[in-house]
């Protein structure tokens, strides 16, 4: 693959075709998955999903194999508990298609004849690996976040992953942190590669920066610590009337965040517009000087992989203020492209925000330039798609 004026074109492995395994299609928030479906091998892709939404094209390239996706006769309905229990015993999970769904998946793969199967997220890999093996098609699994963090707290998930690994041709992860997480519970593969999700560096570009502008993007959930960011900004922005924080997203902590803004009297300095269309988000990034995200490990163990929003912020020339969490230190270098503090270090985070807000024009411009430079060198999604195709091709050539 390569990219010309933002358009993908196939250069590697001509004639290759992939089957991509997902949970739900279409899911607009999973831009990295949708990019693979649209562009891997020039779009020569078919899709197996647990569930298809109304947005999924009815063109024969998409198959749903979840429990409710296939009409089952009375005998199969009666056998469902036994089949699920047997799968859990044999494979460590009851998720895999069985009966009519398994036959449909095998027929689908036989019809489309993909050269490779790519499962997006660990649970999808567990579900389809036995079918991929039965069909004789090499399969890879891509780990991206919670599938290699909070899920690993469950013994049955660790067991399922361990059983899956020998069935795979290789593994990808968006950060080394996730591969290390997997390895810490004995889940490893000799053919493992770190390939971040990436960003379109031709569309995410710096614009006219608004002095004092701070931006945060993401769901208002525990893992993102939005209330901590608001409190830290309130302290960091004292005496800086031009400082303004915008936090885009929704979630269960949005209303508490709005209440906190009102309580602190920050209505003129903090905007919480909720979720916005992707193009509006991109426009905000282009204008923001500073990107702030206090990611932490949630109580259930859920972590980031390597946040796409941070890669997008770097591409648009934002100074990053974030945490030493998951794959973030693999992207952001202290005092060169931003500032990193330990998780839950509210005082350190406040100081980092203050330092970013009061940084002189020349060093701020230089830090923003370096952030953009790193994004172009390491997070160009067109180049990362090339790497993905190359790693798959290299593996298939050795099989």
Q: Is the pLDDT confidence value at 161 over 80?
A: yes
What confidence score (pLDDT) does residue 341 get? 98
Could you read off the pLDDT of 192-217 as tens digits, one per residue?
999 999 999 999 999 999 999 999 99
Q: Rounded mean pLDDT of the chain? A: 92
**All structural domains of the chain:** 2-198+380-398 (3.40.50.2000), 213-378 (3.40.50.2000)
Q: Is the pLDDT confidence value at 12 over 80?
A: no
Distances (CA, A) of 360 to 45, 288, 371: 49, 16, 17
What confidence score (pLDDT) does residue 10 get? 45
DSSP string, 99-144: HHHHHHHHHHHHHH--SEEEEESHHHHHHHHHHHHHHT--EEEEE-
Q: Is the pLDDT confidence value at 8 over 50?
A: no
Could you read off the pLDDT of 298-349 as tens digits, one per residue?
999 999 999 999 999 999 999 999 999 999 999 999 999 999 999 999 999 9
Query: For 289-305, what is the mean pLDDT?
Result: 96
What confidence score (pLDDT) does residue 164 get? 96
Q: Is 23 exposed, middle or buried (0-12, 13-18, 19+ CB in 10 A)?
A: middle
Query: What is the phi/psi pair of residue 60, to 5°?
Result: 85, -5
Q: Which of 223, 221, 266 is nearest to 246 (CA)?
A: 266
How large a percentage of the chain has pLDDT more than 70? 89
Q: Residue 242: which pLDDT band, with cuts at 50, 70 and 90?
A: very high
What confidence score (pLDDT) does residue 75 get? 60
Distances (CA, A) of 388 to 12, 20, 23, 117: 10, 13, 21, 13
What confidence score (pLDDT) does residue 118 get? 98
CA 259 to CA 1: how far, in whole Å? 48
Q: E-strand spans in 226-331?
A: 244-248, 270-274, 290-292, 319-323
Q: Residue 77: which pLDDT band, with cuts at 50, 70 and 90?
A: low
Q: For 151, what's the count of Cα atoms within 13 Å in the CB-facing half-sphere?
A: 21
What confidence score (pLDDT) does residue 352 get? 98
What confidence score (pLDDT) does residue 1 get? 38
């Amino acid at each position: 693959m390569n990219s010309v004026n933002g358009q993908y074109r196939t250069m590697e492995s001509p004639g290759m075709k992939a089957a991509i395994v997902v949970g739900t299609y279409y899911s607009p928030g999973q831009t990295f998955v949708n990019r693979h479906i649209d562009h891997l091998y020039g779009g020569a892709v078919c899709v197996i999903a647990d569930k298809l939404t109304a947005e999924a094209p009815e063109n024969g390239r998409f198959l749903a194999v979840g429990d409710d996706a296939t009409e089952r006769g009375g005998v199969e309905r009666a056998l469902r508990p036994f089949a699920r229990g047997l799968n859990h015993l044999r494979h460590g999970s009851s998720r895999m298609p069985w009966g009519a769904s398994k036959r449909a998946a095998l027929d689908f793969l036989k019809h489309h004849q993909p050269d490779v199967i790519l499962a997006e997220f660990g649970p999808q890999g567990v579900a389809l690996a036995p079918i991929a093996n039965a069909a004789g098609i090499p399969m890879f699994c891509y780990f991206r976040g919670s599938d290699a963090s909070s899920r690993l707290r469950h013994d049955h998930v660790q067991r399922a992953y361990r059983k899956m690994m020998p069935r795979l041709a290789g593994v990808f992860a968006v950060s080394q942190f996730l591969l290390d997480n997997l390895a810490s519970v004995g889940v490893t593969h000799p053919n493992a590669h770190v390939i971040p999700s990436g960003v379109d560096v031709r569309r995410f570009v710096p614009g006219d920066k608004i002095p004092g502008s701070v931006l945060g993007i993401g769901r208002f959930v525990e893992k993102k610590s939005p209330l901590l960011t608001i409190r830290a900004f309130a302290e960091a922005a004292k005496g800086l009337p031009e400082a303004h924080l915008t936090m885009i997203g929704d979630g269960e902590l949005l209303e508490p965040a709005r209440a906190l803004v009102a309580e602190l009297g920050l209505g003129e300095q903090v905007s919480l517009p909720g979720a916005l269309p992707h193009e509006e988000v991109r426009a905000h990034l282009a204008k923001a000087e500073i990107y702030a995200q206090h990611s932490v490990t949630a109580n259930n163990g859920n972590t980031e992989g390597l946040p796409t929003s941070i890669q997008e912020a770097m591409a648009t020339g934002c100074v990053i203020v974030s945490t030493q969490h998951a794959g973030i230190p693999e992207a952001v270098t202290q005092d060169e492209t931003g500032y990193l503090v330990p998780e839950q270090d509210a005082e350190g985070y406040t100081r980092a925000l203050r330092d970013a807000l009061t940084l002189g024009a020349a060093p701020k411009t230089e830090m923003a330039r370096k952030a953009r430079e790193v994004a172009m060198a390491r997070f160009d999604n067109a180049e990362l798609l090339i790497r993905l195709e190359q790693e798959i091709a290299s593996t298939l050539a050795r099989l």
